[in-house]
Amino acid sequence: MAFSYLSELDDHTEDWMIKVRVCRKWESVNTKDGNLISLDMILIDEKGNLMHASVRKHLVSRYADRVLEGRVYNLRNLKVTTNMYPYRPLASNVKLLFLATTAVQELQESDVSIGRYGFEFVNQTVLQSRANDPTVLSDILGCFTGFEGIETVRSGSKKRDIQILTDYSVNSTVTLWGKLGEEFDPALYTQDSGPYVLLVSSVTVKRFRQGSLTFSTTSANKVYINPEVDHVTSIKERFSALSIQAKPIQGTSAAKLTPEEEMFINRMTVDALESVVTLKATITGINSGQGWYYIACRSCVKKAEFENGVYVCRSCGTLEYPLALYRVKAEVQDRTGTTTVVMFNYPAENLLDTSAKKLLGKMKPGDDSVPKELNTLLGKELVFKLKLDKYNLIEGLQDYRVSTVFTPVEGLEAVYAQKEARKVSLKSKQWKKGNIKNQRSSGATALCSLIKFKNIKQGIYNKKKLKRFSIARSAFSSLVSL
């Protein structure tokens, strides 16, 4: 049976056979309850045609590990359907559905000539038309020019705003929500003048009153930095003459927490760690058992594996220019005990004021020892903002992940200590007051029960005696309250 191109597919049959690469892959999740809806992907063929494909919830376990992002496959027996729902990742409303009978055969890279990436770029007019309409999502790109820190908004969600200069010379804000914002490390792209062309897939477009467009991420999002795409290459060359360097920007959201507020979020001691907290502790050791850095993909920042003389990213393929990023595991101690925290690139680089790449450059090949710069952290008392997950909360394991590091401010720490002391004192008073009240109540109840029992036993439990009983109870309550 001959292969068909994606542009030739229709709903007249399900016996299609296609040769495609999985450009992107993601889980579609219900934002209200967090439940999985489907496993989705973008497919690209040898002609560069794109198509959205989906695996329904009940079949996800069958295909999740058999169809991987970046790999090339022969696929047979797929259903062509019409996608009538909003948040479509492509302009076309045609979608493929995996069936229980869909056959999957992985191909070698040498057997095909299919591009690694596939995007739908549109002009400014089309972007304007999609504002405040989530029917079709958009792929956008621009020169990375600025960034904010992680914000915790009033709803409890986390986000990071970044700024890009589009190829239409328009400054725009892109909001990276949740895990996407937390994993995006601006420090990787501020070490030189760049330029860094940032590409974000499948965003929603919003227009504010002043007319400017902003973009917001969805579950279908991927963020790429300088991907090997022809359009990106031309944009990068154009921005090279401007020497644009990404810089921190001050957030304008009223929901943003100040650094002073962040330093004391759910402050805990070592023996009481739970949920999302801050911890003030002293670094007592650097654990080098698993190394102090890792090699990562420049595009997705995931860990790369060394295979056959080259570094390979499971999502992006072979890496020409991998990154060296921090992963520092430190032992910390406060007055209640000890624990371990893990600082990845952003907090570690801010603390050390140098990159992992520079430290590696000073060391001899094959030297696995801890650099002296890391040992300068020993004995430092710091405030760690920790991001706890199921690994910590359910399994009870340590290695708490650090999202931000602060240097304690003596005046603020003194104010915090006074507040905590007042809380302890107030709780102690409330406990004592409640304990006395319970004892009085128990005494009155016991006496009344005794009187009631005696009256019943003597056969005189009538209205007259009941009235006397009520008077006796009131009298006793008045007596014990003195």
Residues 138 and 105 in one domain: no
Residues 460 and 426 in one domain: yes
Q: How far is CA 432 from CA 337, 348, 394, 435, 479, in A?
A: 29, 46, 34, 5, 20
Residues 393 and 429 in one domain: no
DSSP letter for 208, please.
Answer: -
Tokens, residue 120: 């739908």
Amino acid at 131: A
Is 32 a member of any domain? Answer: yes
Q: What pLDDT does 446 receive?
A: 46
Q: What pLDDT does 202 receive?
A: 93
Distance from C-alpha of 155 to C-alpha of 175, rounded to nearest angstrom = 15
Residues 402 and 275 in one domain: yes
Domain boundary pick from 89, 111, 133: 111
Is 209 a member of any domain? Answer: yes
Tokens, residue 441: 């109540």
Q: What pLDDT does 95 receive?
A: 94
Amino acid at 318: T
Residues 172 and 206 in one domain: yes
Domain boundary pick from 408, 432, 467: 408
Tokens, residue 219: 């579950």
Is 304 a member of any domain? Answer: yes
Is 88 a member of any domain? Answer: yes
**C-beta neighbour count of 406 within 10 angstroms:** 18
DSSP letter for 363, please.
Answer: S
Residues 63 and 21 in one domain: yes
Tokens, residue 454: 């005696």
Distance from C-alpha of 95 to C-alpha of 84, rounded to nearest angstrom = 10
Distance from C-alpha of 87 to C-alpha of 91, rounded to nearest angstrom = 10
Low pLDDT (below 50) residues in the chain: 252-255, 272-273, 442-444, 446-448, 450-457, 460-461, 463-466, 469, 471-473, 475-482
Residues 283 and 362 in one domain: yes
Residues 270 and 396 in one domain: yes
- Contact of 267 with 166, CB cutoff 8 Å: no
The alpha helices in 18-123, defined as continuous H runs, are 60-63
**Overall residue count recorded for the chain in this entry:** 482
Is 224 a member of any domain? Answer: yes
Burial of 308 (0-12, 13-18, 19+ CB in 10 A): exposed
Distance from C-alpha of 286 to C-alpha of 241, rounded to nearest angstrom = 43
Q: What is the pLDDT of residues 308-336, one digit of tens each?
A: 888 988 877 888 778 889 999 999 999 88
Residues 404 and 425 in one domain: no
Query: Measuring CA to CA, which residue among 386, 418, 151 is closest to residue 267?
Result: 386
Is 96 a member of any domain? Answer: yes
Distance from C-alpha of 480 to C-alpha of 473, rounded to nearest angstrom = 11
Edge to edge, the sheet with strand 317-319 lists: 305-307, 310-313, 317-319
Pairing between β-strand 400-406 and β-strand 337-344 as defined by DSSP bridges: parallel
Distance from C-alpha of 400 to C-alpha of 341, rounded to nearest angstrom = 5
**Residue matched to tokens 């062309």:** 197
- Contact of 138 with 130, CB cutoff 8 Å: yes
Longest CA–CA separation in the chain, Å? 105
- Contact of 272 with 377, CB cutoff 8 Å: no
Q: What pLDDT does 154 receive?
A: 64
Residues 423 and 377 in one domain: no
Burial of 279 (0-12, 13-18, 19+ CB in 10 A): buried
Residues 283 and 402 in one domain: yes
- Contact of 451 with 472, CB cutoff 8 Å: yes
- Which structural domain, as residue segments, surrounds residue 225? 124-248
Residues 233 and 284 in one domain: no
Q: What is the CATH number of the domain that holds 61?
A: 2.40.50.140
Distance from C-alpha of 96 to C-alpha of 74, rounded to nearest angstrom = 14
Domain boundary pick from 248, 275, 309: 248
Q: What pLDDT does 456 receive?
A: 46
Amino acid at 200: V
Q: What pLDDT does 75 receive?
A: 95
Tally the domains of the chain: 4
- Contact of 399 with 341, CB cutoff 8 Å: yes
Is the full-model pTM beyond 0.75? no
DSSP letter for 290, please.
Answer: T
Q: How far is CA 296 from CA 68, 208, 235, 305, 313, in A?
A: 19, 37, 25, 8, 8
Is 153 a member of any domain? Answer: yes
Distance from C-alpha of 229 to C-alpha of 237, rounded to nearest angstrom = 12
Is 219 a member of any domain? Answer: yes
**C-beta neighbour count of 196 within 10 angstroms:** 23
**Residue matched to tokens 């759910």:** 266
Amino acid at 67: V
Burial of 355 (0-12, 13-18, 19+ CB in 10 A): buried
Query: Measuring CA to CA, which residue among 29, 77, 83 is closest to residue 57?
Result: 29
